[in-house]
Chain A
Amino acid sequence: MTGLKEYRQRPHWSASSLNELLNVCSLKWAYSHGVYDAEQEFTPVALAFGSCFHQVLEYFHNLKQRGVRIESVEIPDICQVVWGETLERGKEIRFEDDMSADDYGNQMAGLVKTFLEHADPEEEVVSVSEPFIVPLMDSEGQMLDKPLIGEMDCIVRKGDQTTIVDWKSAARRWPKGQADKSMQATAYLYAHSVLQPEMNPEFRFDVAVKNKTLVFEQHCTARTQEDFARLGQLAVRADNIVEHELFFPNEQSFACSGCQFQSACKNWHREHSRVISLAA
């Protein structure tokens, strides 16, 4: 099966890319996608942690799918190994909250354990890390040039009901309605509806919250055809923004404190020339 890495090689949109451009900060999008030249100053620990957390859950869910029994004692060791590799690969990971790398490793083991303890034994794992690529349509049904790509963390089945599950770790409990507003849920349900129109899956966020006492939450959400049309129209707008380079800093973004492009952003109003590479 072709993977997400290959899908990324063609011009595309993903839920996270659309979200970053439209909801987080368009200037950050321009920096992270190389439209403007800016060096990534550091890797936020949350990014490295989230990536590692996914890898560990992917590993355990693959075992579960194959019917292998998971022993709790294995969890800390696996977390330490994967977290160690993540730290080695990561570029200048910036830690926060007075926590050391080991503290993060231990926290991860706790979160993964909480996750697996709350897994419904009646849920069958259908697939893990399922990549997808589908065409996007505007609200009038015209196909956009760029497809939508992504990867569904896990698809489970219980009885006749199929559910797309996305794994999250969070610093605090999710507020009411967060799942209903998620562009990721819209994008994944849309992709599934295009690929398997005969099915009607649910979408669920499984969230491990890093409270002192670790908390596990599940947030179910659904979407309609109207939501899918709206997503397509947002992608049209995103294309326009990119085409006309309408990038600007979102001065009040919640993401500013953890942004890897703070220095470049500070000077943006004086040095925002576009990157042009000449070759051949």
Chain B
Amino acid sequence: MLKLNSSFSKKVPVQGQDFSSQSFHCSVEVEIPDGLPPEALQRRIHETFELVKSSVETELNGKAPLAESEKVQQSDVPGNNGRATNRQIKFILDLARGQRLALSDVNRIIQADFGRESVYELDKKSASQFLDQLKKAA
């Protein structure tokens, strides 16, 4: 495994106080598998950095933090256009199997509820919603 450490910091002036600033810093370390092609590795580095950067911006702008399940996806392999990650799909299908749902059943539910043909076509947010749906049904 390779380790990727990505960090981002931003200084902003404190309103109403001259010569003063607040610094926001976020750092994340993730493991990435050996053997990724250079493009995939580059994409991974880029997206991890984007994640760190956007997290700092989110905190700065006072937006709500990501849901727990979304954090899991974000730390998984990026580079698939916002689609649910392999790890997220594995969670879903493992949970579904526990409920005796085959892939074809899962895909049918996803077609009905999310208008997508396959669990692999869900975006991260919808996958997260579907995961919660399955957890509730468990």
Q: Is B103 an interface residue (CB 8 A)?
A: yes
A37 contact set on B, CB distance < 8 A:
38
Indicate if the CB atoms of A35 and B48 lie closer than 8 Å: no
Q: Which residues of chain B come closer than 8 Å to A197, judged between CB atoms? A: 102, 104
A197 CB to closest chain B CB, in angstroms?
6
Q: A34-B38, A197-B104, A280-B46 are in contact. Are A135 and B93 (CB under 8 A)?
A: yes
A170 to B49 alpha-carbon distance, docked (Å): 47
In the bound assembly, the distance between CA atoms of A196 and B120 in angstroms comes to 16
Give the segment of A60-68, A141-149, A172-180, A222-230 that binds chain B: A141-149
In the assembled complex, which residues on chain A have CB atoms less than 8 Å from the CB atom of B34? 242-245, 274
Kindly state the separation between the CA atoms of A148 and B46 in the bound complex, as whole angstroms.
26
CA–CA, A194 and B104, complex, Å: 7
Of B42, B104, B120, the residue contacting A7 (CB under 8 A) is B120
Q: Which of A1, A134, A275 contacts B38 (CB 8 A)?
A: A275
Binary A-proximity of B95-135 (CB < 8 A = 1, otherwise 0)? 00100001110010000000001101100000000000000
State in angstroms the CA–CA spacing of A280 and B46 once bound together: 6
Q: A214-235, CB under 8 A of B: which get 1 and which 0?
A: 0000000000000000000000
Bound Cα distance A152, B51 (Å): 36
Contacting residues, chain A, for B117 (C-beta < 8 A): 1-2
Q: Is B74 an interface residue, CB under 8 A from the partner?
A: no
A23 to B137, CA, bound (A): 44
In the bound assembly, the distance between CA atoms of A274 and B2 in angstroms comes to 12
Q: Number of contact residues on A: which range applies? A: 20 to 34
Complex Cα spacing A244 to B118, Å? 32
CB neighbours of B36 from chain A (8 A) = 11, 35
Which DSSP category, helix, strand, loop or mixed, fits chain A's interface? loop
Select one of B46, B90, B104 contacting A279, CB under 8 A. B46
Q: Quick check: is A277 within 8 A (CB to CB) of the other chain? A: yes
Interface residue? B85 (CB, 8 A) = yes
* Any B CB within 8 A of the CB of A10: yes
B16 within 8 A of A: no
Instruction: Tell whether A133 is near chain B: CB-to-CB under 8 Å.
Output: yes
Chain B residues within CB distance 8 Å of chain A: 2, 6, 33-42, 45-46, 48-49, 77, 79-81, 83, 85-87, 89-90, 93-94, 97, 102-104, 107, 117-118, 120-121
Interface residues of A (CB under 8 A from B): 1-2, 6-7, 9-11, 30, 33-35, 37, 133-135, 143, 145-147, 194-197, 242-245, 274-280
Supplied contacts A2-B118, A11-B33, 14 more A-B pairs, CB within 8 Å: A6-B83, A9-B81, A11-B40, A35-B35, A145-B90, A146-B86, A194-B102, A196-B104, A243-B33, A244-B34, A245-B35, A278-B45, A280-B6, A280-B48
